[in-house]
Amino acid sequence: MLTALVNGRVLRAGALRDGEAVLVDGDRIAAVVPASEIPADAARHDLAGAMLLPGFIDTQVNGGGGVLFNDSPSVEGIAAIGAAHRRFGTTGFLPTLISDDLDVIRAAVAAVDAAIAQGVPGVLGIHIEGPFLNVERRGIHRPEKIRTLDDEGIAVLTSLKRGRTLVTLAPERTDPATVRRLTEAGVVVAAGHSNATYEQSIAAVEAGVTGITHLFNAMSPLTSRAPGLTGAALERAELICGIIVDGHHVSPTTLGIALRCKPPEQLMLVTDAMPTVGSDSAEFVLQGRPIRVIDGICRDADGTIAGSHLDMVSALANCVKMLGTSIETAACMAAHAPATFLGLADSLGEIAPGYRADLVAVDAKFSVVETWIGGVESRDPASTNRRQHSAVDAA
């Protein structure tokens, strides 16, 4: 059945537009037409004035709904994480595994492959964040899990049959030939948890690195005589950088500088979310360490930040309220930029004919009203009256 999404403000071609209807046929957007030209046989779906945006794509999701992917590398775990984040507008995501043993990575890859085969909504692939990192920039990652990337590791990283594989590694802990080997096998490679020099960073970019994992966090900084990985990230147009806009990981001033260096198409919103997102619990255990959410920040007993308590619609709102971006710019960073990064910009990240009908309706208070994944609607009846986080409303 052809469905017309009407009475909303449609984000199309970089602008919010009134008086247009989005026609959805099956899992695809059939057309975007003036409201006066809706076909007579189309069923009308009233958006009640909400903004209709491309569905958000989150390339770094450690957990949600009380589930941590490292602890539950299964189809059921992935489905629970996806359902929790869908309430906040995420229609595409990469379940993310932090540094762990190769057997756990194998199980996670197999689970993602099975989840995609079974049609679990929103799963686009897997993000393997480590263990091929620099222990000096490990953050919350267990030092004993960090290892050198060898042939066995490469075999695991290139084993996914369906969807995209994103790998975060430290360029200085491997070599350009290995990076090229991964990219030639179809792996998307990002640099992160790294102490790489500027020269090492550029060599990795020229070998095929296209992304930066959580810009500014856990990486060699930009200084007067040593630009580091941060300098390379801000300089090179090939690099799409993930940013965590929660007001805790990075100063809004610093993120504003990044926005002056790079266009929104080269900055993508990520949550780095932990199990507390979409859950009533403010505590979880990460590889044996108790983590608590205090003042909106996930920390271990030593005070080390452990991922985030951030969802994508809050990240979008924070861009507008903390960084002063337009909604259009923030939506580009939440949908178009990650779709481009994953090589999916011909089917995701835009509201246009032929694109998959992955959509999110957001009201004026930045609450998610409803979502569509492949044309299938999901509505949270309490969404317009509930906000999980207070940070956005207080900004």
Query: Is 117 annotated in some ligand binding site?
Result: no
Q: What are phi and psi of 390, to 5 degrees?
A: -90, -15
Q: Could you tell me which of 142, 149, 152 has the C-alpha nearest to residue 175?
A: 149
Kindly state the DSSP code that residue 157 receives in the 8-state scheme: H
Residue with tokens 């970089």: 14
Residue 285 three-state SS = strand
Query: Is 306 annotated in some ligand binding site?
Result: yes
User: What does the alpha-carbon distance between residue 285 and residue 292 come to, in Å, rounded to a whole number?
Assistant: 9
Query: Is 243 annotated in some ligand binding site?
Result: no
Query: Is 154 annotated in some ligand binding site?
Result: no
Kindly state the DSSP code that residue 6 receives in the 8-state scheme: E
Query: Is 196 annotated in some ligand binding site?
Result: no
Per the residue annotation, which of 58, 100, 113, 272 is the catalytic one?
Answer: 272
Q: Which residues contact 18 (CB under 8 A, 6 or more apart)?
A: 9
What does each C-alpha distance from 5 to 26, 346, 360 come to in angstroms? 13, 22, 11
Kindly state the DSSP code that residue 204 receives in the 8-state scheme: H
Q: Is 71 a catalytic residue?
A: no
Q: Which residues contact 251 (CB under 8 A, 6 or more apart)?
A: none
Kindly state the DSSP code that residue 156 receives in the 8-state scheme: H
Could you tell me if 228 and 372 are in contact, meaning their C-beta atoms sit under 8 angstroms apart?
A: no
Query: Is 248 annotated in some ligand binding site?
Result: no
What is the end-to-end Cα distance of the chain in Å, rounded?
42
Query: Is 305 annotated in some ligand binding site?
Result: yes
User: What does the alpha-carbon distance between residue 327 and residue 333 come to, in Å, rounded to a whole number?
Assistant: 10
Q: Could you tell me which of 248, 234, 166, 168 has the C-alpha nearest to residue 202?
A: 234
Query: Is 249 annotated in some ligand binding site?
Result: yes
Residue type, 42: A
Token pair recorded at residue 29: 């957007």
**CB burial of residue 26 (10 Å; 0-12, 13-18, 19+):** middle
Residue with tokens 């490990």: 138
Query: Is 225 annotated in some ligand binding site?
Result: yes
Q: Which residues contact 303 (CB under 8 A, 6 or more apart)?
A: none
Residue 96 three-state SS = strand
Residue with tokens 């990064």: 341
Count of other CB atoms within 10 angstroms of residue 43:
9
Q: How far is CA 80 from the centre of its chain?
A: 17
The binding site for Zn(2+) comprises 129, 193, 214
* Known binding positions: 129, 140, 193, 214, 217-218, 225, 249, 305-307
Binding residues for substrate: 140, 217-218, 225, 249, 305-307
Q: Which residues are catalytic?
A: 272
